[in-house]
A and B are shown apart, each in its own frame.
Chain A
Amino acid sequence: MPNRGCRESRPWTRGSGPEGRDRHRDGEEVKITNISTFVVDGGGRNIIFVKTETDEGVVGWGESFSVGPDLAVAATIEYLKDWLVGEDPRNIERLWALMYQGLRFPPGSVGLASISGIEHTLWDISARALGVPVYKLLGGRVRDRVRVYQSCGGATPAEAVDHALALIGTYGYTALKMSPYPPDMNLRPWNQVLREGPRFLEAVRRAVGDGVDIGLDAHAKVFEPARALELAQAVAPFAPFFFEEPIRPENIREMALLRRRMPVPLATGEALYAKFEFNDLLQAQAADIIQPDVCVCGGLMEMRKVAAIAEGHDVMVAPHNPMGPVAGAVNVHFAAATTNFLVLEYKPHDTGRWRELVKEPWVPVDGYLDIPAGPGWGLEVNEAALDRYSYSPWRRGDPRRPDNSPAFI
């Protein structure tokens, strides 16, 4: 397998697609000519960039979630490419259906990460063709800037405090996120987790005061709802902003029961796919805040639909966003245009390898990102740099319990 397995593109030839593709073309000029994938080692984990080219010369960028295995996403995008070449990239809903319905089986993580990355490129092209920012195609701007939070942590409460204060000092954050667990939580007795975990939050809360919102991410590591409830109760005195993925994501009824019992707002959604799973979650009244990831939920249009369903259920949206710079840009446009947006997860790409991947990094000021005025995402990918750090195999880790059984990561 080559490093960037799907970088090489095959020239499109007329006749390779479905019959009748060119029907009803009146008034349309743009056609997709190629879709390519760049799997870039961002430093410990890959960033999957997707690039779509058109016969008009307009190019769009997107990003797929690195769900792992990342080369499977690249292969899927290569497969889907043949369905899209020759189509008008501005018919986004249509092309989404062409991919989603064409795959027939619900796509899952690899399929939806692939669809999402391609879908982003279509928005970028549509907006660049008009010379407007993407949010202008979403009903316009509902806010002037986008509130972001970054995660902080450390091996001890003191280290976590140092990290929190450094982040606030540099970026002016008014919101942070941390883990509710002490290190090596899987190896500790549960009562010790309940005792030691909240000390991290307590220390940061004391250091930053009430003026900073602090979310907690339990990361779906707890299997038993009753244990999750105990942990939520233990951290509640330090007023967390939200408590994220308190239990595994699959059982929505248990999530709903937990929401009814938990003393802090319940946030979840990064592991849910497409409108249907979010709809089930919302109808079950199982979340206060949903956290779709625009790189794996199905894309920007899908996340807009999810947000509409959430709006109808009085639920806010705080997008999950641990991925690269294009993912951040897509999320900023979503946030700019969506009424029930709450706060965006963000990691500034102003240092290290990430800095090289874009021409101008987006850096929060006073804890907010500006909304870009340029066409498309308003973000310029530094394509020349994508060759520097090619695909590297990665794995999320392999936590074990004291009996050597696999724990959740």
Chain B
Amino acid sequence: MGGDNKTVKITDILTFHCSDGTRNTIFVQVHTDEGLVGVGEPYTIGPDEGILALLESIKPWFVGQDPSRIEWLLRRARNSMRFPQGPVGWSALSGIDHALWDIAGKAAGLPVYMLLGGRFRDRVRVYHGVQGRSPEELAENGLALIEEGYTALKTSPYGPEWRSLLWNEVLREAARRLEALRTAVGEDIDVGVDVHATLMEPVRAEQLTAALAPYRPMFVEEPVRPEHFPSFARLRERLQVPLATGENLYGLAQFVTLIDAQGVDIIQPDLCSCGGILEAKKIAAVAEANYVTVAPHNPLGLLSTAVSVHLAASIPNFVILEYHGDHARTKARFVDDPWKPVDGYMPLPTKPGLGMELDLDTIAESPPIAWDRGFPQYPDGSAGFI
């Protein structure tokens, strides 16, 4: 019945918990009896231990199974967990998804994108994150990146102490920052702005976006908290800047609901938490049917960059990929080959599978730390969004 030529079987799922000193990283390896090993990276959603424990407890669901049955294995796990997963569950499954695609590519002797409908483009455009305490420092850092060949950047609208300022001061500072960056890099560089879901009131997001619009941002990202889709639909009708969001959404259903609400111009799934490559392909298909483009969220970099590049290579509505100088990060020593962009584009990998391997020795020498995202406050001592 239902034939497969070979019966490769999963023999083990290993997790690796390590740190570059600033934040923790989780890697997943799926081992097979044929010797093929696939690697993946769940989002360090926090708490990391939740993901490690979940992976350990669902491992028996995968061991002994055929790794080429990617959709079946992931659907079976989700169905068995029954309740809609949050970030911990979706990140764990995303890591397994990556590893299964890596195995599939290695088994075929092809880069993963060749198993996703093939190569739609020859290289993958990236934007580089840029920061600066002052407008001048931001401009200087932006210019340095342009000189490295990047054609697109993304920045925060805020200065470091924005939560202690009055709102009108925040607006003025945001405009000064983007003006400085725009003036430094010129008219032809794309510059995205990431509000990072720090605002709750849509009208504040409108005011902030209006203050930035004269400097023509490529998009405004997560202008408000992610939960209430009608706010996004309303904002999209009113903003003069393309609306990007999605890093806080998991699984096909949430993206469908947002897209059906006409609440987004550019969708930004994170392949380490949205459910993985297979889920992202489905999300991209829904987006395509609604004239929405895809700009994957990718702050983790490295293996996260790799899976994102394979998706980007294969889908027609990809627009740009987040990038944070993977090759120069401390974290880069966790992998054998931190890919480097050329002229602001990531070349497509040609090795079988994802094309990136773990350096297990370095990982073993880099134990996890206690980390959190911080606890910002407003002047009255109430908790701020981060």
A residues lining the B interface (CB < 8 Å): 23-24, 26-27, 88, 90-95, 97, 126, 130-133, 136-145, 275-276, 278-279, 283, 301, 304-305, 308-309, 311-313, 336-337, 339, 370-374
Contacts and interface: CB of A to CB of B under 8 A. Distances in A.
7 contacts: A93-B116, A94-B121, A130-B110, A132-B108, A139-B70, A140-B68, A275-B285
B288 A305 contact: yes
Interface string B261-289: 00000000000000000100110011011
Q: Which of B1, B73, B286: most chain A CB closer than 10 A?
A: B286
Contacts of B282: 308, 311-312
Contacts, number: 119
Nearest to A131: B5
Nearest to B74: A139
Interface stretch (B23-31, B53-61, B252-260): B252-260
Given A309-B286, A312-B252, A145 B118 contact: no
A140 B69 contact: yes
Given A88-B118, A278-B289, A373 B72 contact: no
B71 A339 contact: yes
Contact of A90 (B75, B109, B118, B256): B118
A337 B2 CA distance: 12
A275 B289 contact: yes
Contacts of A26: 350
B3 A370 contact: yes
Contacts of A131: 5
B225 interface: no
B145 interface: no
B4 interface: yes
Contacts of B69: 139-142
Nearest to B282: A308
Nearest to A28: B119
B20 to A, nearest CB: 32
A304 B278 CA distance: 12
Given A145-B2, A275-B288, A370-B2, A92 B72 contact: no
Interface string B92-112: 000000000000100011110
Given A137-B115, A139-B70, A279 B75 contact: no
3 closest A-B pairs by beta carbon, nearest first, are A373-B3, A312-B256, A91-B118
Interface in B5-46: 5
A95 B316 CA distance: 11
Contact of B1 (A95, A140, A144, A301): A144
A254 B42 CA distance: 45
A90 B114 contact: yes
Given A279-B290, A371-B3, 16 more contacts: A130-B109, A132-B5, A133-B3, A140-B66, A141-B68, A141-B69, A145-B1, A275-B285, A276-B289, A279-B286, A308-B252, A309-B286, A312-B252, A370-B3, A371-B1, A371-B2
B316 A93 contact: yes
A139 B315 CA distance: 16
A141 B122 CA distance: 30
B72 A142 contact: yes
A70 to B, nearest CB: 28
Contacts of A141: 2, 4, 68-69, 72
Contacts of B230: none
Q: Which of B1, B118, B256: most chain A CB closer than 10 A?
A: B118
B290 A143 contact: no
Nearest to A23: B122
A118 B314 CA distance: 19
B117 interface: yes
A312 B255 contact: yes
A10 B69 CA distance: 41
Contacts of B315: 93
A312 B75 contact: no
B120 interface: yes
Contact of B285 (A91, A283, A309): A309
A92 B71 CA distance: 20
A311 B1 contact: no
Contacts of B110: 130
B98 to A, nearest CB: 13
Contacts of A279: 286, 289-290
